[in-house]
């Protein structure tokens, strides 16, 4: 089994399937492709896609796809990933999240609150921002006008803060109501993350902050409709009025995806969880014992989740009943080094 080089932690990135068979994922910042529903994977070494720290991917159709890199470029394909064109982002800005509402109109988000919009399939990009210095992690739009971006920024805790956090989580068993967690975090100031959600109603030209949660980092967002918004990370945040009001749960959820405002899944820490009431009640669908970061529906029946562990391997889970039950589709994805890297 191939493992990642000494000193490099595992990284399981977004996963995206355009059919029950064809899909892509990122593992240790490499683009991997599957044509058998996630059972086997191969590294994409197609023309035009250089090595780089790939952070996110999205396919609007089976042939139109994009990847973004922390190295300041977007890769775009019009032929299902066989060939790629590399386009630099303005000012070589880092890209962290990407989404296209159709083959032409899309957005990329990154550091320093920057948002980039393309109207020609990713060939050119123009810059806007959310008005704050935020590390934007993901972006989703319900339509060409209404979209949401989530941010997570880290702060350095003191030794006493780390110890206090560990003690609190041990005493509480890691579960508290959202308001209780928020009050405790605000009082003790032991949290190391700050999560924010930004909203646009004009296609990304202007943005406004609609949620600010100290101590709760957010790195994934799902927008099944213009009024239903779900975000995940250190907590689960939900809005059913387009971001005007929010309910925040204190349990760590990781990646989140909703096929409808009611039916969705989170790829959490040690489990995949399923809900059919918008996130009010969750049922554990699969206990994995590994950390989950991403989950994605391809249709109302098929979904996939990526899980990882500290040994440097990633596992792919799949569901064929709308996220209610899951099976291990690929026991591990080995680390594939860049040119000059090591494997064992």
Q: Convert the pLDDT of each residue in 28-57 to its tens digit.
A: 767 888 999 998 888 876 667 776 788 999
Helices H, strands E: what count in the chain? 2, 27
Model pLDDT, residue 168 = 40
Owner of token pair 């070494």:
45
pLDDT digits (tens, 9 = 90+) for 138-165: 999 999 999 999 998 865 444 444 444 4
Residue 196 maps to a domain? yes
Alpha-carbon 238 to chain mean position: 16
Residue 182 maps to a domain? no
Residue 300 maps to a domain? yes
What is the count of structural domains for the chain? Answer: 1
% of residues, the chain, pLDDT over 70: 76
Residue 184 maps to a domain? no
Measured distance CA(268)–CA(293) in Å, rounded: 7
Residue 342 maps to a domain? no
Identify the top-confidence range among 19-28, 178-187, 330-339: 19-28
Residue numbers of the domain that contains 87: 12-155+192-333
Measured distance CA(14)–CA(17) in Å, rounded: 10
**End-to-end Cα spacing for the chain:** 7
% of residues, the chain, pLDDT over 90: 55
Model pLDDT, residue 215 = 73
User: Pick from 175, 336, 335, 140: which is nearest to 255 by CA?
Assistant: 140
Q: In this structure, are residues 130 and 149 in contact, taking their beta carbons and an 8 Å threshold?
A: yes
Judge whether residue 312 has pLDDT over 70: no
Model pLDDT, residue 343 = 32
Model pLDDT, residue 112 = 94
Counting other chains too, the contacts that 41-45 makes at CB distance below 8 Å and 24 or more residues apart are: 41/316, 41/330, 41/333, 43/336, 44/81
Residue 341 maps to a domain? no
Residue 225 maps to a domain? yes
Q: In this structure, are residues 99 and 58 in contact, taking their beta carbons and an 8 Å threshold?
A: yes
- Computed over every residue of the chain, the mean pLDDT equals 81
Q: Which residues pair with 73 in a beta bridge?
A: 88
Judge whether residue 11 has pLDDT over 60: no
Q: How far is CA 16 from CA 31, 189, 282, 320, 329, in A?
A: 11, 37, 23, 15, 15
Q: Which residues pair with 303 in a beta bridge?
A: 297, 319
Q: In this structure, are residues 116 and 129 in contact, taking their beta carbons and an 8 Å threshold?
A: no
pLDDT digits (tens, 9 = 90+) for 163-203: 444 434 434 444 444 444 344 344 443 445 788 999 999 99
159-172 and 178-188 are packed helices; what angle lies between their axes, rounded to 10 degrees? 160
Vertex 193: Cα angle to 312 and 294 (nearest 5): 40
Residue 221 maps to a domain? yes
The pTM for the full model equals 0.82
Model pLDDT, residue 46 = 60
Model pLDDT, residue 172 = 43
Model pLDDT, residue 141 = 98
Of the candidate ranges 188-192, 196-200, 234-238, 307-311, the one whose mean pLDDT is the lowest: 188-192
Model pLDDT, residue 189 = 39
For the residues 229-255, what does the mean pLDDT come to? 90
For the residues 248-256, what does the mean pLDDT come to? 80
Q: The domain that contains 114 carries what CATH number?
A: 2.130.10.10
Measured distance CA(338)–CA(160) in Å, rounded: 39
Judge whether residue 136 has pLDDT over 60: yes
Q: In this structure, are residues 88 and 101 in contact, taking their beta carbons and an 8 Å threshold?
A: no
């Amino acid at each position: 089994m191939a493992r990642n080089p000494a000193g490099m932690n595992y990284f399981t990135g977004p996963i995206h399937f355009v059919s029950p068979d064809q899909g892509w994922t990122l593992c240790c910042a490499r683009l991997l492709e599957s044509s058998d529903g996630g059972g086997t994977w191969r590294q994409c070494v197609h023309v035009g896609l250089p090595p780089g720290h790939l952070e996110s991917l999205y396919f609007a159709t089976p042939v139109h796809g994009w990847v973004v890199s922390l190295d300041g470029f977007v890769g775009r394909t019009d032929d299902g990933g066989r060939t790629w064109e590399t386009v630099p982002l303005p000012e070589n800005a880092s890209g962290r999240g990407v989404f296209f509402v159709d083959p032409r109109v899309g957005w990329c988000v990154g550091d320093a609150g920057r948002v980039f919009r393309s109207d020609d399939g990713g060939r050119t990009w123009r810059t806007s921002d959310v008005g704050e210095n935020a590390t934007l992690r993901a972006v989703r739009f319900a339509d060409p006008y209404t979209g949401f971006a989530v941010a997570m920024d880290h702060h350095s805790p003191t030794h006493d803060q780390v110890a206090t956090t560990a003690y609190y989580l041990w005493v509480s068993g890691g579960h508290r109501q959202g308001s209780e967690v928020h009050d405790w975090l605000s009082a003790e100031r032991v949290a190391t993350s700050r999560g924010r959600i930004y909203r646009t109603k004009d296609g990304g030209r202007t943005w406004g902050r609609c949620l600010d949660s100290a101590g709760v980092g957010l790195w994934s967002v799902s927008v099944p409709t213009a009024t239903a918004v779900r975000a995940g990370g250190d907590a689960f945040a939900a809005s059913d009025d387009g971001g005007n009001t929010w309910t925040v749960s204190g349990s760590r959820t990781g990646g989140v995806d909703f096929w409808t405002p009611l039916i969705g899944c989170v790829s959490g820490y040690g489990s995949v969880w399923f809900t059919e009431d918008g996130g009010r009640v969750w049922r554990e669908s699969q206990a994995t014992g590994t950390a989950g970061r991403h989950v994605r529906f391809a249709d109302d029946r098929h979904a996939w989740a990526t899980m990882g562990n500290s040994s440097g391997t990633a596992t792919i889970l799949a569901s064929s009943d709308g996220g209610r039950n899951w099976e291990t589709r690929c026991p591990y994805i080995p680390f594939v080094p860049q040119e000059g890297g090591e494997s064992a």
